[in-house]
Structures are given as C-alpha cells and as structure tokens.
C-alpha cells in the first residue's frame, strides 16, 4: 500500500489494515469525496488483467449509461493526484449485462491491491471520479451478516455472505471457496426470482 495514502500506526485492535483503511477514509473525506461503492477484489479482478467487475445496480446508478458494448472511456484520479483513463463497458451474460471497468492494473499496482483488498469508488463534489485502495480488514471479514435465502421452488435454504447489489430480480452473494461443492473454486450464489438459488463461477458473476 502506498505510504503516501496510509499511516503507520496500528488500529486499536492491532490490525494495521484498520488504520490504513481509516487513513484512506480520512483522506477521501478531506477531499470532499462521497464514497458510493467499495469493491472487495475477487480472483478475476486481481489477476493482473486490470478488469474489474462492477455490480449491475452500482453500474447503472453511478456510471454512464451505455448503448454499445464497446463502452466509453472514463477519466479518474486517485487520492495522490494520479490520473487514470478506464474503459467502462459491458458483456452480455445470460441475456443480462455484466459491467466491467478495464484498465485498473496500474492503480492496483500503485496501491498494492491483492485478492480480498478493496477498491474504493467515490465522487468529488464536481462529480469527478476518485479511486483509492485499502487492505482487507478484520471488519470486512466480519461483515456483512449472514443472510438466509429461501428458494420457494426447491425449498433450498442457504446462509449467504453478501448483500443485494445486483438488479431487483437477480442478486449474487460471495460464497466461500469450495463451500458445499468440493471444487475448491471461488464461487457465488446466484439468487433470482426466475432461476432460484444456484452456485455460479466468478466468470458468470455480475458482482
């Protein structure tokens, strides 16, 4: 993590990530930023491709409307004043859109972001997009609380770790590696009014 963004003092619970996250939050607040999304990086987000999957609900509320899959360039800056040009685009996945932010590898390297670390998206008062990064903290591991989802079609009940971040008719929850499948893969639960509850691989995810 860039020393220009974070402090050296540990949090009260002894977790250095907590103090780093707090300092990043204070920097953003001092810039007048409003954070609208924090993305815990998945394996596919942090594999060096620079491609980050953006949840559909977040993409359609906070990012430009897209008519074409090729997308549009988006100018952004980080808390140190470094400028970036991302490309915001989408793929068609199961007749729905999977939104992607491409060109994030430089930013990930600058903030030393790895799987589980958090990419922060915020807006300045003039709507300028600001990005930042912070390490995963103990608080991230503890939240959000488990949510029980009941599929009325099959009667399946699952404790899912996550929150509703997709469209109104479909949501995806992070699912701990290898849970229930023995595959050892990072999986998600897809929760949909039409298809019920099913495990899906990250490549099929929209969050």
What does the mean pLDDT of the chain come to? Answer: 73
- The long-range contacts involving 57-60, CB below 8 angstroms and separated by at least 24 positions, are 57/164, 57/165, 57/166, 57/167, 58/121, 58/165, 59/88, 59/90, 59/97, 59/99, 60/99
Q: What is the CATH number of domain 16-23+33-140?
A: 2.40.330.10
**Least confidently predicted of 15-24, 29-38, 160-169:** 160-169
Kindly indicate the confidence band of residue 8, based on its pLDDT and cuts at 50, 70 and 90: very low
Could you tell me if 138 and 13 are in contact, meaning their C-beta atoms sit under 8 angstroms apart? yes
Gyration radius from the chain CA atoms: 18
Task: Identify the burial level of 36 via C-beta atoms within 10 angstroms of its C-beta, where 0-12 means exposed, 13-18 middle and 19 or more buried.
Answer: middle
Percentage, residues of the chain above pLDDT 90: 54
**Least confidently predicted of 78-87, 140-149, 189-198:** 189-198
Block residue for tokens 């949501």: 171
Mean pLDDT over residues 168-183, rounded? 40
pTM: 0.64
pLDDT of residue 18: 87
- Count of positions (residues) in the chain: 207
pLDDT of residue 13: 52
Nearest Cα to 98, choosing from 136, 80, 121, 71?
Answer: 71
pLDDT digits (tens, 9 = 90+) for 111-127: 999 999 999 999 999 99
Q: Which residue has the higher pLDDT, 81 or 177?
A: 81
Kindly indicate the confidence band of residue 141, based on its pLDDT and cuts at 50, 70 and 90: confident
Query: Above 60 in pLDDT, residue 135?
Result: yes
Q: Which residue has the higher pLDDT, 147 or 19?
A: 19
pLDDT digits (tens, 9 = 90+) for 59-74: 999 999 999 999 999 9
Q: What are the residue ranges spanned by the domains of the chain?
A: 16-23+33-140, 144-204
Mean pLDDT over residues 91-107, rounded? 94
Q: Distances in Å between the alpha carbon of 125 and those of 14, 35, 85, 128, 201?
A: 34, 11, 20, 7, 37
Element (H, E) at 144: none
pLDDT of residue 26: 95
């Amino acid at each position: 993590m860039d020393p220009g963004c974070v402090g050296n003092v540990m949090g009260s619970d002894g977790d250095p990530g907590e103090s780093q996250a707090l300092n990043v939050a204070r920097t953003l607040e001092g810039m007048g930023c409003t954070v609208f999304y924090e993305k815990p990086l998945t394996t596919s987000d942090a594999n060096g491709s620079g491609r980050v999957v953006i949840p559909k609900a977040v993409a359609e509320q906070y990012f430009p409307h897209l008519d074409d899959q090729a997308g549009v360039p988006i100018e952004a800056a980080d808390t140190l004043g470094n400028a970036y040009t991302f490309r915001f685009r989408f793929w068609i996945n199961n007749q729905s859109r999977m939104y992607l932010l491409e060109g994030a590898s430089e930013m990930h390297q600058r903030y030393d972001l790895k799987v589980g670390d958090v990419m922060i998206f915020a807006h300045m008062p003039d709507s300028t997009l600001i990005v930042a990064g912070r390490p995963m903290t103990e608080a991230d591991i503890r939240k959000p609380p488990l949510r029980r989802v009941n599929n009325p079609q099959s009667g399946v009940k699952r404790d899912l770790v996550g929150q509703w971040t997709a469209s109104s008719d479909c949501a995806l929850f992070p699912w701990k590696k290898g849970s229930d499948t023995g595959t050892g893969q990072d999986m998600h639960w897809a929760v949909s009014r039409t298809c019920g509850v099913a495990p899906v691989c990250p490549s099929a995810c929209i969050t």
